[in-house]
Structure 1
Amino acid sequence: MPNQKPIFQNLFFLLLSLSIFTNVAHVSSKSTIEPCSNSDSCNAVLGYTLYTDLKVSEVASLFQVDPIAILTSNAIDISYPDVENHILPSQLFLKIPITCSCVDGIRKSVSTKYKTRPSDTLSTIADSIYSGLVSADQIREANSISDPSVLDVGQSLVVPLPCTCFNGTDNSLPATYLSYVVKPVDTLAGIAARYLTTITDLMDVNAMGSTAIKDGDILAVPLPACASNFPRYASDFGLIVPNGSYAITASHCVQCSCGPGNLNLYCMPASLAVSCSSMQCRNSNLMLGNVTFQQSSAGCNVTACHYGGYVNGTIVTSLSTSLQPRCPGAQQFPPLIAPPNSVTRDSMFAPSPSPQSNGAGTPTPKSSGVPTTTTGSLPGLGLPPANSPIASASSDASSLVNSLATFPSAFVLFIFVKLMMSMSL
C-alpha cells in the first residue's frame, strides 16, 4: 500500500489554511474599510438603536460621549429641565457623535469601553447592547480574549466601532459620515432617499459592486454638513455639523447649528453657559452671533461677530464686514424636538432633515441668548472628494474581505472528496 501520510498531511494543511482564511473573514469589519496612514481624526456619527429604555446619560456612558452632544446631534431641545436624565424609549434611533481615529492603518473608533455584567456574552454585547455596530469576534480580537465563553463581571472591554472620514467631504462638498446598520426592511434606494443622497454615491462610498444589501451590513452614509475653519491649535479644530442638527462646543458655552436652508455654520452662546470667557467681538459692541446691517445705495453693509474656535480656554471671536447686494433675512434654525417618549415607525429609521428645506416656521432654539437676525457664515474646507484614491483603496480592501467571507464551503468538501478518491487508487 502506498504511503498515505503525505496525503493526510497535505489535507490537514489545506483545511487549516482555509480555516485561517475563514476566521480572518469573520473578524474583519462588516463595514466600509478606509485605510489611513496618519494620526489625524475626524468627527463621525454612529446610527444607534436603543435595545431598551435608557436615560440620555446612560446612552452617553455606553459610548463615553457628552450627553448634551447626543441631544444636540439629534436636534433635541436641551432646555428641558433635567434633560440628561430623560428616559428615551426602546428602539429609538439616535445619531451618536464620535471621534474617528486611525488605528493600525484602518479608520475606527476605539474610545468606547464597556464593563461586563453577569448576563453578558460577547454576542449580546455586540448584537443587542451596541445594536450590531460591532461583531462578537471583533470584540474578542480587540481584547485578546482566548475563551469567549468566560467573561469576568466588571471586565472592561474595548468596543471597536466602525467609522469613516474620507477627508470630511463627499463629491467635494463638506460631509460627515454616518455608520448605518442595515435593517431587514431596508433597500439601498430607500436609504439613499432617506439621507438625501444617491444610489450611485452610496455604492461609490461603500465600494459596492451591486445594489444588494442584507440585514446587518454597515454602510457609510454621507451627510451634508457645515464645516468650520478653526485653526489647527483650537481644541475643536475640524468641527463639522451635519445638516439639520446642532453641536455643543467650548465647554458647553457655544452652540453651533447647520441649515436647514444652507451649509453655513452658525454659532451663538448656548443656554448652558455658566462660566465662559468673553463672547464679545473686539472693537465692537457685538456679541457672538450678532449681526447688524445698513442699507445704502451701493447695497447692504453687513457686520457680523463670528466664532473662531476654542483656544486654551478662550472663545475666539472675529468681526467681519461685507457689502452684499441685499440685506439678509432672519437666521433659520433646524427644527428642535422635545425629548422623545415614544417611537413611531418613521423615527425608528431616523429620516434626515432636508438641506433644501426653506426653514419656514422653524423655531429659534430656546438656548438662544442673543438676537439672531441673520446668518453667520464660515467657509467650508476645500478638501478632496470622498471618491479620491483613499476611497479606491477602501474598495480593494472591502473586496478582499468580501471574497474571503463568501469562500464556498462546498469547495472545501470537493477538495476533500478528490483527495480521498486519490488515496483509494
Structure 2
Amino acid sequence: MGYAKVLVGVLLFITLATTSTAQPPPTFTCSATAKSTCHSLVDYVSPNTTVLSTIQSLFQITRFHDLLGANGFPTSTSPSETLQAQQRIKIPFTCRCENGTGVSDRAPVYTVKKDDGLYHIAFDIFSNLVTYQEIAKVNGIPNPDKIEVGQRLWIPLPCSCDDVEGAKVVHYGHVVESGSSVDQIATVYGTTPAILLKLNGMTNASQLQANQVLDVPLIACNSSVNSSSLDYPLLVANGTYVYTANDCVNCKCSSGNNYILQCEASGLKPSPKTWSTCPAAQCNGTSSLYLLGNVTTASTTCNQTTCAYSGFTNESIFTTLATESTCPAGGPTGSPTSSPGSDASKNGMQGFRWNFLFISIQLIILCFTLS
C-alpha cells in the first residue's frame, strides 16, 4: 500500500511539473502597413548536434552568407561547421505583417516524413518556435492528427516589422535562457525593460519564462541608403552584417562605430545574375581615397568623411560622401530600472512552491484514504 501512495504522488508531481512549464504561444504584434515585409531574426536551439548546412536547409535560407551574417560569423566559416546540441543560432528570414500579426513570409516549408506528427514537427524539429495549433491554422488543417507523408507545411515563425519608440529596428525572436531576467536581456540587447514588457504584452517582469520566444528590438545602424534604393530601408542589426546590391556590397553594423553602417565592396560575384560584374562603387573623383568604404579623418577634429553606400538600382550602385562624428557617445543602450535578478527562474520557483504545497495536501488526503 505504501508503494501505491508513493507512485500516485510521483505521477501527480510529474503531471503538475509538466503543466507549469508550458509556454505561451509566441505571437508578435505587427501593426505596420498590411502585407509590408522586413528582415527579422529568430533563435533556433538545435535539439541535436548538427552542421550549419543542415540548419540552412531546414529553414530554407537561400544564401549561406546570410546565415553567417546574422550571427556575425567569419565569412570563411564552412557549411560543415558543427553546431552542438542545445547551441543557439540566429535564423534570418523575411517577415510579413498581416491582420496585426507578424509571421515568416510563406517560409520555411517543411515536408512531412514518415511517423511525423504536428506536435513533433513544432516541438522537436523547430524547437517550439511555433505551436502545432499555429501550423495547423495557417495550413488549413482541420484535424491536427491527420497529416500525410509528403505534405508541405508552412512553418509560421513569429516576427514584427513595427518601429519601436519611433525608431526602425530589427525584431529578434530571442529564446529566453533559464536564469535570465528582463533587466539582463534589456541590457545585453540595448533596449529597456519597459519596452520589452510592452512589446511582449507582459504586465511585470515576473511573467518571463524560460524558453519563451521574446520579441527583442535590436538597434539598427544609421545608413545613407535613400528611399529609391531597391534595398530600402536597409536595416542591419548591431553585431551582424549583410550582403546587398546583388551581393556586390557588404555592410556591417557595430556599436564600436557609433551605430553607423559601414559598407564596402564585397569581392563576390553578382547574384542573382543581374550584372555580369559588380559596377564601380566610388564617390566623386577617381582616387582610391574615394572608393566605397574608404575613410578620411580630419586632423583637428574627431569628424571623419566616408565614401558611404547609398543604395542601388538594376543598373548602378550609388554612393555619397558622408561626414560623421567619431566622438565618444553613449549610444542607444538599455536603462534597467531595477537590480538584475532571475525573473525566469523566480517564476519557475513560484510555480514549484505552489505545486509542492498542492502535492503535499494530495498525499495527506491519499494517506487517510488508503490507510
> Fold conserved (TM > 0.5)?
yes
- Give the AA of the match of 2:309: Y
State the match for 2:182 in structure 1.
188
**Partner secondary structure for residue 176 of structure 1:** strand
- Give the AA of the match of 1:263: Y
- 8 Å Cα contact 2:162/2:168 also seen in 1: no
Alignment of 1:95-174 (within 5 A): 95-112=90-107, 113-167=109-163, 170-174=164-168
State the match for 1:289 in structure 2.
293
For residues 271-316 of structure 1, give each alpha carbon's deviation from its aligned partner in whole angstroms, at most 9, with x where no partner exists.
Answer: 43463221222433221101234547xx688543111123115322
State the match for 1:217 in structure 2.
212
- 8 Å Cα contact 1:31/1:217 also seen in 2: no
- Give the AA of the match of 2:51: K
State the match for 2:264 in structure 1.
268
Q: Return the alpha-carbon distance in structure 1 between the equivalents of residues 176 and 312 of structure 2.
A: 37
What 5-or-longer segments of structure 1 have no aligned partner? 1-25, 330-353, 357-425
**Partner secondary structure for residue 304 of structure 1:** strand
For residues 98-131 of structure 1, give each alpha carbon's deviation from its aligned partner in whole angstroms, at most 9, with x where no partner exists.
Answer: 2221223422213311112223211121112211
For residues 38-89 of structure 1, give each alpha carbon's deviation from its aligned partner in whole angstroms, at most 9, with x where no partner exists.
Answer: 2322222112112223332321222222221111111100124xx2333322
Cα RMSD of the aligned pairs, angstroms, is 2.9
1:69 pairs, out of 66, 69, 82, with 66
The structure with higher relative contact order (CA 8 Å, sep 6+) is 1
Shift of 1:147: 2.9
**Partner secondary structure for residue 259 of structure 2:** coil
Shift of 1:172: 3.8
For residues 190-248 of structure 1, give each alpha carbon's deviation from its aligned partner in whole angstroms, at most 9, with x where no partner exists.
Answer: 33333233322211222211221234432211222214352344231111111122122
2:252 pairs, out of 242, 252, 257, with 257
- 8 Å Cα contact 1:68/1:84 also seen in 2: no
- 8 Å Cα contact 2:232/2:311 also seen in 1: yes
Q: Return the alpha-carbon distance in structure 2 between the equivalents of residues 305 and 290 of structure 1.
A: 6
Shift of 1:173: 4.2
Q: Return the alpha-carbon distance in structure 2 between the equivalents of residues 129 and 33 of structure 1.
A: 25
- Give the AA of the match of 1:43: H
Q: Return the alpha-carbon distance in structure 2 between the equivalents of residues 181 and 301 of structure 1.
A: 39
Q: Return the alpha-carbon distance in structure 2 between the equivalents of residues 91 and 77 of structure 1.
A: 21
Q: Return the alpha-carbon distance in structure 2 between the equivalents of residues 125 and 355 of structure 1.
A: 39
1:294–1:183 CA distance, 2 compared to 1 (3 A) = closer
Q: Return the alpha-carbon distance in structure 1 between the equivalents of residues 106 and 71 of structure 2.
A: 21
- Give the AA of the match of 2:296: T
- 8 Å Cα contact 2:111/2:150 also seen in 1: yes
- 8 Å Cα contact 1:294/1:301 also seen in 2: yes
**Partner secondary structure for residue 312 of structure 1:** coil
State the match for 1:309 in structure 2.
311
Q: Return the alpha-carbon distance in structure 2 between the equivalents of residues 104 and 172 of structure 1.
A: 21
